[in-house]
Amino acid sequence: MKLFEYLKGRLLPPSSRSFHELFSEVIGLRHDICELSRQLESLRADLQHDSANAIRSVQACSSAIGEMDSRLAIVADAHDTHMKLMLWSLITREGETSDDAKRRFFRSLPKADGDLRLLQRGCVALLSDFDKLCKNAGLPYCMMFGTLLGAVRHQGFVPWDDDLDVCMVRDDIATLMDVVSQDERYLITVVFDWYAHCRQIRFRYNDESNPCFIDLFILDYAQDEASESFSSMLAVRRAMIQEMDSSPDLSEWRESYPYLELGSELAVKVDEVFRRYEAHLHSECICVSRDHARGLIWGIDNCYWEGDGSLIYGLSELLPLEQLEFEGIALSAPSDASGVLRRSYGDYLALPEDIHSHYEHVSKTKLASEAVKNSIRKHLQ
């Protein structure tokens, strides 16, 4: 009997009744699946609607926060301005201009002390030697950036500064290199910096223990002083940087030697790229000879950051050079020092924002070394 039922269930076709029952179950399952699909679609639509509402709510909150931040920034800026006006009005003496009062205020600030002041004094000694060397060789230079700011605003170092900035025309730097190569007291280093895509040139003592140095920035003669010419130079510089970043021949510079000293085979390749693009500026008449120049422009091989502004000057802004006091020494400065500073810093007599954020060129750890201190003291004598 069991065998018969097994054969019937497995081998014989289903009865009409069982077939209809199975068909009904399939139809029911199909209906259930359709209903489930409809519910899922409804849920998806609800989620999209809720998400859209949530996004709009977040955007509204973000907009409100942005408006609040803007308002707070305006209020804070107004309060800051009011406090500064109050400060300057309190210190201004009768018959004194506001700018004179500000200069007097900055010159009354205490100088740096401790290791930082020792470093500054060492830098002043180096700058004095540099000045004498240039004058003896008939090579003009001028203080720029933080050093010029210190000369005009403080008559010396900005109290929290630790480096020196000087500009020279390209050909004069080449001549200076020849002069220094014959003087065992000093050294000019050239380092190709991949991070800044620049040729970093520094004047220093021929004493590795002494950390004092002067940054030498290159100026080229320009056919005019228009900001459009500077923009054209930057366009050429961007093309140069693109080649440096993509050239297989310079991959080692990017990957293994981002700070590359002059002298190696790789350095020769990097130097060739700089020279080729500098020559391109002359072929485009952006840079010209001294006889045809009406301006001076930032060299293509200097570092440049967004926010540095248009570093192209009329000849009359820089020449003839004037003498300004810096730590008791008369040094060369642009003829329109105030105008040049406004180009770089805006209101350079405003209360500064970099007192605690100024970049350290020489670390406190290095300055704490007695060997370093003794090397600096040796050059002060």
Sign of CA dihedral 47, 48, 49, 55: positive
User: Which of 140, 164, 134 has the alpha carbon at shortest distance from 151?
Assistant: 164
User: Which of 271, 104, 296 has the alpha carbon at shortest distance from 193?
Assistant: 271
Containing H/E element for 79? helix 16-91
Report the SS3 class of residue 120. Answer: helix
Instruction: Tally Cβ neighbours within 10 Å of residue 370.
Output: 7
CB-based contact 281:259 (threshold 8 Å) = no
Q: What pLDDT score was predicted for residue 7?
A: 45
Containing H/E element for 198? strand 198-205
Q: What pLDDT score was predicted for residue 155?
A: 96
CB-based contact 150:111 (threshold 8 Å) = no
Question: pLDDT tens, 62-120?
Answer: 676 767 666 766 765 665 566 666 667 777 888 888 888 888 998 999 999 999 999 99
| Cα–Cα distance measured from residue 270 to residue 251, given in angstroms and rounded to the nearest whole number | 11
Question: pLDDT tens, 326-337?
Answer: 999 999 999 999
Residue labelled with tokens 């933080």: 146
Instruction: Tally Cβ neighbours within 10 Å of residue 48.
Output: 10
Q: What pLDDT score was predicted for residue 24?
A: 63
Distances (CA, A) of 142 to 56, 145, 337: 57, 10, 10
Containing H/E element for 69? helix 16-91
Instruction: Tally Cβ neighbours within 10 Å of residue 99.
Output: 12
Tokens found for residue 76: 């804070």
Q: Is 45 exposed, middle or buried (0-12, 13-18, 19+ CB in 10 A)?
A: exposed
Amino acid (1-letter code) at residue 369: S
Q: What pLDDT score was predicted for residue 303?
A: 95
Please provide the size of the chain in residues: 381
Per-run averaged pLDDT (10 residues), the chain, 381 residues: 50 52 62 70 70 70 68 63 67 86 89 94 97 97 97 95 96 97 96 97 95 97 96 97 96 94 93 97 96 97 91 96 97 97 91 69 86 88 64
pTM of the model: 0.78
| Cα–Cα distance measured from residue 142 to residue 319, given in angstroms and rounded to the nearest whole number | 10
Tokens found for residue 327: 């730590």
Tokens found for residue 187: 């050294």
Sign of CA dihedral 118, 124, 126, 129: negative
Residue labelled with tokens 């009768």: 94
Q: What pLDDT score was predicted for residue 94?
A: 85
Residue labelled with tokens 């003896």: 136
